[in-house]
Structure 1
Amino acid sequence: MTMPFAELEPVYEELAMAIDRVGEAQAPLFLAKLALMLAHELGDRERALAAIADCERDLLRE
């Protein structure tokens, strides 16, 4: 089950504020920990790996 796009805005806003709170130096570690926690919650290794690949591909395309 996926979250409707309309519900993503408050998640994005909280994520941005959390990144600001932890600071620029800790942001990469925070994001890695968050990604691992969300992958654990997702409970599907293949979907987690696909999401990593999708995000990487998107950033490399820019």
Structure 2
Amino acid sequence: MNTLSISELETVYDHLAAALDKAPEDKRELFLVKLALLSAEALGDPQRTTALAEIALIDL
């Protein structure tokens, strides 16, 4: 599995933040769900995807 450098993660974060800002406020949740599903499909591992969802819930 490939990992991203800190610089690459920062670039992805910046792009995601900008994309979220572009989404209409009442559609942001839908955008995030679509992004999660597209990411899960790209990852190709449903168990890993659900584990990542649990990790993302930590310290919200």
The two structures have a TM-score, normalised by structure 1, of: 0.84
Percent pairwise identity: 44
Q: Give 5+ residue unaligned stretches, structure 2.
A: none
Deviation at 1:34, TM superposition (A): 0.2
Distance in 2 (alpha carbons) for counterparts of 1:57 and 1:9: 20
RMSD of aligned residue pairs (Cα, Å): 1.1
Unaligned runs of 5+ in 1: none
Question: Counterpart of 2:26 in structure 1: which amino acid?
Answer: A
TM-score by length of 2: 0.86
Runs of 4+ in 1 over 6 A off after TM superposition: none
Deviation, 1:19, is: 0.8
Say how many residue pairs are matched: 59
Residue by residue, what CA displacement relative to the aligned partner does 1:30-62 show, whole Å, maximum 9, x if unpaired?
000000000100011111010001111332xxx
Q: Distance in 2 between matches of 1:13 and 1:22?
A: 15
